[in-house]
């Protein structure tokens, strides 16, 4: 064992550090045109006229009538047009595309659109249109509430969030012999391919999608790249030239997906000694104008909504509804941060009502091996809720500070959480991912569609293959994802890349090692010619899931976390500040400890931003603060010292014991912080917990010491 468990040099590290790495905007092709999108300025309207207010010579102009195939972006539903045809449902909806070789000329072109306004829905709870409804039922709610001696209710709200990947969305569509190649900054090359085919139709025989170096995704490049890719291809098709579209920050923030805002209502019954006997949870997510991925975001949200707790009688109802804002979409955590925020803030309120310590309440109810979740999934030995909770309490000095900080204007709070690894339910079976491994003159090459987006895919997969194949890490290379060359190993989402794709590669490497019979891959390659092996996902016979009833094994396994936040509240400005943060997380086993720590630190910082400062201001259905001067994310100075503890509990179903890690770290910070604010004396139930929210929050007993204003 030489590579796994070591913080080896990142595969793409040198290229990024030296500037060698080529991002979408670095690529040049002869004769490239620049593309621009003309977008709706109103939230809901009929388009009654479109007029070009410029001389069209030298321009390529595309509208919905130029689409050779079908005018929709393929995802779960086919409701989202590629280009508006007669009606717009949100501000920033694409209507017309322009291309020109000169960026200035392109920027100077003005297009006039006439609208006939239609009614606008902004409240997701009052929306008449529902994209998806889900019901999870376990035991009997009536019987549970009949046993309850204490009832606690509450409503919790979470706001939207912008991904703020360093590199905005960008693609280049290049006509080539027999078809078109799309290069771009994206998470899921085969999703883009699947979306391009219906739009381009039979007119384009060969379409391939190539992922370029990608400066961050966080879910924001899961579905949106299909839209910008389709636009660039349409312009390339009409002009016969390569077309590059790269959004600037403002367009990226104004037009692309965000985290789903969410409202969660809890009604909880307990025995007087603090045992959960009935949980009734209602979840509403704001899907925005088109369905996109809302059904699956809702799914992950509701499955995690009861938190990592045991309760025999549970009902979770969820719906994702339509409003006239840009569609909300995938964002790290995929609905689970929203519902677990509600659960964990609610748990501290329950503890308060019962007059028990929040840690004791959680210890009493935390899931243990052999317990079942809300969907009836029986948990295995890698269930670490109690272990992460105990470690976090100890490491942070929670019990001591709970006493010493009381009444000082500062507070300490914690959150216990979990996150399913890989696709939900039978998702992985339906994906049927395939990976490949081939010999090269110098070692072996990994062929997968999974993308390096800064999180370490290439490095981590190469570590797994190196050890399973028995070759040095340096001899394993990773092919650039190009859908004409790599098998479809599924999307780079859902905390699946390490556990699922890494697991397939481990099997593939073991098979190759057996075939090589003691010979090194390079020696085999030189003496016997190239060897290429594939490995396809096989359903685990023991895993059961019923999509109709939402019963069964929702995930292959779960990763576990407990975060502790120490927060000070400024008595004059009411600004809350995290002064110390402890994150204890169990995700099987870290393949690359330094990068795993980076995931936890980064996810925690992103969670701190979501909790305290990131505020998407919507005005008339549009993001009103689409710039980084007033959409505030945490800087180094806002990021507290972090204690990261990675507990190991190897999972037999993952490569070298690993589970998924990418999303877990963003589930805990917001509720830990709001619970710390509660300990400091303010009853906050929604985020972002901006100073004005704190100022308007009812004081608890005892109140914070200096309550100004």
Write the CA distances from 306 to 62, 261, 316, 416, integer angstroms. Answer: 48, 18, 8, 11
Binding mask 435-474 for ligand MOS (x = CB under 6 A): ----------------------------------------
E strands, 161-242, are 170-176, 179-184, 206-211
Return the residue nearest ligand MOS (CB atom): 219
Burial degree of 520 (CB within 10 A; 0-12, 13-18, 19+): middle
Within 565-584, the residues that bind ligand MOS by CB under 6 A are none
Contacting residue, 181, 264, 330, 567, with ligand MOS by CB under 6 A: 330
Q: Give me the least distance between CB of 663 and ligand MOS, in Å please.
A: 7
Q: Give me the least distance between CB of 382 and ligand MOS, in Å please.
A: 21
Within 220-239, the residues that bind ligand MOS by CB under 6 A are 222
Q: Give me the least distance between CB of 176 and ligand MOS, in Å please.
A: 29
Contacting residue, 139, 170, 219, 358, with ligand MOS by CB under 6 A: 219
Rounded to an integer, what distance in angstroms lies between the CA atom of residue 630 and that of residue 114? 31
Q: Give me the least distance between CB of 480 and ligand MOS, in Å please.
A: 20
Nearer to ligand MOS, 60 or 489 (CB): 489
Contacting residue, 331, 423, 473, 555, with ligand MOS by CB under 6 A: 331
Residues 6 or more apart whose CB falls under 8 angstroms from that of 510 comprise: 468, 469
Instruction: Give the residue among 214, 220, 247 at the shortest CA–CA distance from 162.
Output: 220
Within 668-697, the residues that bind ligand MOS by CB under 6 A are none
Segment lying near ligand MOS (by CB under 6 A), choices 269-277, 329-337, 502-510, 629-637: 329-337
> Does 291 interact with ligand MOS (rule: CB under 6 A)?
no
Question: Would you say 145 and 278 are in contact if contact means Cβ atoms under 8 Å apart?
Answer: yes
Number of residues interacting with ligand MOS: please give it, by CB under 6 A: 9
Residue matched to tokens 């936890």: 600
Contacting residue, 334, 423, 555, 560, with ligand MOS by CB under 6 A: 334
> Does 494 interact with ligand MOS (rule: CB under 6 A)?
yes
Nearer to ligand MOS, 328 or 434 (CB): 328
Nearer to ligand MOS, 420 or 640 (CB): 420
Question: Would you say 423 and 497 are in contact if contact means Cβ atoms under 8 Å apart?
Answer: no
Segment lying near ligand MOS (by CB under 6 A), choices 76-84, 325-333, 350-358, 637-645: 325-333
> Does 332 interact with ligand MOS (rule: CB under 6 A)?
yes
Segment lying near ligand MOS (by CB under 6 A), choices 84-92, 130-138, 326-334, 424-432: 326-334
Segment lying near ligand MOS (by CB under 6 A), choices 17-25, 327-335, 365-373, 482-490: 327-335
> Does 493 interact with ligand MOS (rule: CB under 6 A)?
yes
Q: Give me the least distance between CB of 699 and ligand MOS, in Å please.
A: 37
Please work out, in degrees rounded to the nearest 5, the angle formed at the alpha carbon of residue 610 by the alpha carbons of 606 and 614.
Answer: 110
Binding mask 135-174 for ligand MOS (x = CB under 6 A): ----------------------------------------
Rounded to an integer, what distance in angstroms lies between the CA atom of residue 287 and that of residue 325? 8
Within 176-195, the residues that bind ligand MOS by CB under 6 A are 187
Q: What is the 3-state secondary structure (H, E, C) of 6-52?
A: CCCCCCCHHHHHHCCCCEHHHCCCCCCEEEEEEECCCCCEEEEEEEE
| CB atoms inside a 10 Å sphere around CB 9 | 11
Rounded to an integer, what distance in angstroms lies between the CA atom of residue 195 and that of residue 206? 14
Q: Give me the least distance between CB of 493 and ligand MOS, in Å please.
A: 3
Segment lying near ligand MOS (by CB under 6 A), choices 246-254, 328-336, 440-448, 639-647: 328-336
Here the tokens at position 223 are 């579905």
Q: What is the 3-state secondary structure (H, E, C) of 541-606?
A: CCCCEECCCCEECCCCCEEEEEEEEEEEECCCCCCEEEEEEEEEEECCCCCCHHHHHHHHHHHHHH
Q: Give me the least distance between CB of 497 and ligand MOS, in Å please.
A: 10
For ligand MOS, the binding residues (CB under 6 A) are 187, 219, 222, 330-332, 334, 493-494
């Amino acid at each position: 064992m030489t590579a796994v468990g070591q913080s080896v040099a990142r595969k793409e590290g040198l290229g990024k550090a030296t500037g060698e790495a080529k991002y979408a905007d670095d690529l040049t092709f002869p004769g490239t045109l620049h593309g621009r999108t003309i977008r709706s300025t109103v939230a809901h309207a009929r388009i009654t006229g479109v007029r070009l207010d410029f001389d069209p010579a030298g321009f390529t102009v595309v509208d919905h009538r130029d689409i050779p195939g079908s005018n929709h972006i393929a995802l779960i539903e086919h409701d989202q047009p590629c280009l508006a045809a007669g009606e717009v449902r949100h501000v920033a909806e694409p209507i017309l595309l322009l291309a020109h070789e000169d960026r200035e000329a392109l920027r100077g072109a003005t297009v006039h659109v006439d609208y006939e306004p239609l009614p606008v829905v902004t409240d997701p709870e009052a929306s008449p249109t529902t994209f998806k409804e889900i019901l999870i039922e376990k035991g009997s709610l009536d019987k549970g509430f009949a046993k309850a001696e204490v009832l606690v209710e509450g409503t919790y709200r979470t706001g939207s969030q912008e991904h703020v990947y360093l590199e905005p969305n960008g693609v280049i569509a290049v006509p080539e012999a027999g078809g078109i190649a799309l290069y771009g900054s994206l998470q899921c090359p085969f999703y883009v391919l699947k979306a391009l085919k219906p739009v381009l139709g039979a007119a384009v025989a060969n379409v391939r999608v190539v992922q370029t170096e990608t400066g961050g995704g966080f879910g924001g490049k899961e579905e949106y790249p299909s839209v910008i890719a389709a636009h660039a291809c349409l312009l390339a098709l009409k002009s016969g030239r390569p077309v590059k579209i790269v959004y600037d920050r403002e367009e990226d923030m104004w037009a692309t997906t965000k985290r789903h805002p969410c409202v969660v209502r809890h009604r909880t019954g307990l025995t007087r000694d603090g045992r959960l006997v009935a949980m009734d949870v209602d979840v509403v997510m704001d899907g925005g104008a088109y369905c996109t991925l809302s059904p699956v975001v809702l799914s992950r949200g509701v499955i995690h909504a009861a938190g990592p707790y045991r309760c025999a009688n549970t009902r979770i109802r969820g719906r994702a509804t339509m409003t006239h804002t840009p569609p909300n979409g995938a964002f790290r955590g995929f609905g689970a941060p929203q519902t677990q925020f509600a659960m964990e803030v609610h748990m501290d309120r329950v503890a308060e009502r019962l007059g028990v310590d929040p840690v004791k309440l959680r210890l009493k109810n935390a899931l243990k091996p052999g317990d079942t979740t809300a969907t009836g999934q029986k948990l295995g030995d890698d269930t670490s809720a109690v272990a992460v909770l105990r470690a976090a309490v100890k490491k942070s000095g929670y019990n001591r500070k709970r006493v010493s900080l009381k009444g000082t204007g500062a507070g300490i709070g914690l959150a216990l959480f979990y996150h399913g690894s890989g696709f939900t339910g039978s998702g992985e079976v339906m994906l049927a991912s395939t990976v490949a491994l081939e010999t090269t003159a110098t070692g072996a090459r990994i062929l997968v569609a999974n993308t390096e987006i800064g999180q370490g895919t290439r490095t981590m997969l190469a570590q797994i293959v190196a050890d399973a194949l028995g070759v040095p890490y340096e001899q394993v290379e990773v092919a650039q994802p190009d859908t004409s060359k790599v098998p479809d190993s599924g999307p780079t989402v859902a905390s699946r890349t390490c556990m699922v794709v890494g697991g397939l590669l481990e099997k593939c490497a073991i098979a190759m090692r057996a075939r090589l019979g003691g010979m090194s891959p390079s020696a085999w390659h030189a003496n016997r010619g190239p060897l290429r092996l594939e490995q396809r996902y096989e359903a685990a016979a023991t895993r059961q899931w019923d999509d109709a009833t939402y019963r069964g094994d929702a995930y292959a396994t779960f990763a576990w976390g407990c975060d502790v936040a120490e927060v000070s509240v400024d008595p004059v400005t009411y600004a809350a500040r995290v002064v110390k943060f402890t994150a204890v997380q169990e995700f099987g086993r870290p393949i690359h400890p330094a990068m795993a720590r980076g995931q936890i630190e980064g996810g925690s910082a992103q969670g701190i931003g979501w909790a305290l400062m990131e505020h998407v201001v919507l005005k008339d259905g549009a993001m009103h603060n689409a710039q980084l001067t007033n959409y505030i994310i945490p800087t180094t100075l806002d990021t507290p010292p972090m204690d990261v503890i990675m507990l190991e509990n190897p999972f037999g179903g993952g490569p070298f014991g690993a589970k998924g890690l990418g999303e877990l770290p963003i589930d805990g910070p917001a509720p830990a912080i709001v619970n710390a604010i509660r300990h400091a004396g303010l009853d906050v139930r929604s985020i972002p917990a901006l100073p004005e929210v704190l100022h308007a929050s009812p004081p608890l007993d005892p109140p914070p010491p200096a309550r100004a204003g």
